[in-house]
Amino acid sequence: MSDTSGAQSEITIACIQMEPIVGAKQANVAKSLEWIGQAALNGARLIVLPELANSGYVFRDRDEAFALAEEVPTGETTAAWIDAARRHDIYIVAGIAERAGAALYNSAVVLGPSGYIGTFRKVHLWAAENLFFEPGDLSFPVFKTPIGRIAAAICYDGWFPETFRLQALQGADIVCVPTNWVPIPGQEPGRPAMANILHQAAAHTNSMFIACADRVGTERGQLFEGQSVIVSCTGWFVAGPASRDREEIIFGRVDLADARRKRNWNEFNQVLRDRRTDVYDEMLGSEIKRGWY
């Protein structure tokens, strides 16, 4: 099925839940390529990898982070992922440690069959990330592709409703979230991750799909949450939650054009147009230009 712009909107999304090892960049990239190949063989057209999938996450110091970072899009990791996107005719959103001159960013690259599409830099830094990375300076870009309008966010960005609202106002159909969620204090055993609840709410209140690829394992004493999910624009799960402790792929078949159709909830209500911009600033004080919705 195609939407009115001619984009192929009905696709299979895959979120790869894997365990990168800090410092083992070549092995991490090789593992990611194996998982990407497996997802593509199972029909995935859009594939999401975890946060900092090539480098690992818990750095000892900034020197270690800098040594593992690469320029985007000219670095070897991005080049390997671009090659995979071309070979498999797929789109990839993947977390990477980005070096830009002397600055470091916790970034996500957006890649497709024709090569590099764009970069998102994590806006809201978590804990010790503030010692290594600069806050993202590219705002909240939305990338127009043949399969739909793709945006990205990274981990802690998901705790801020402004992230998803500004992307929705630019017409994003899906937000891909490379993430490294950690357990939230007070979380009782067996209960869903707080992150899952937050992303269900964001998908529902903005009428957009959200695909979250988390990592698993324990790295230098830090446990990660797993539970990767793909959420419909209605707020209900399309796939997942995945396990808390296993490497795996979750798949979801979606029609991205539904994100636009279902913004009209009934004959009276449209979730973005109903906003009271006489009461608050339409674009939340951002210089972002409103997109079609």
Domain presence at residue 251:
yes
Look at residue 277 and tell me if it is in a domain: no
- pTM, two decimal places: 0.93
The catalytically annotated residue of 122, 212, 219, 225 is 122
Token representation of residue 274? 């109903």
Q: Which residues share a beta bridge with 163? A: none
The answer to whether residue 289 is domain-embedded is: no
| Residues 140-155 pLDDT 10s | 999 999 999 999 999 9
Structural domain range at position 221: 10-261
Which one is catalytic: 15, 19, 31, 51? 51
* Catalytic (active site) residue 51: yes
Residue 104 lies in a domain: yes
Structural domain contains residue 85: yes
CATH of the domain at 47: 3.60.110.10
10 as an active site residue: the answer is no
Q: Give residue 288's pLDDT.
A: 81
**19, 25, 31, 155: the active-site residue:** 155
Tokens 């990898």 sit on residue:
49
Residue 286 lies in a domain: no
pLDDT tens for each residue of 58-74: 999 999 999 999 999 99
- Condensed to tens digits (0 to 9), the pLDDT of residues 2-53 reads 454 445 679 999 999 999 999 999 999 999 999 999 999 999 999 999 999 9
- 244 in a structural domain: yes
Query: Domain tally for the chain?
Result: 1
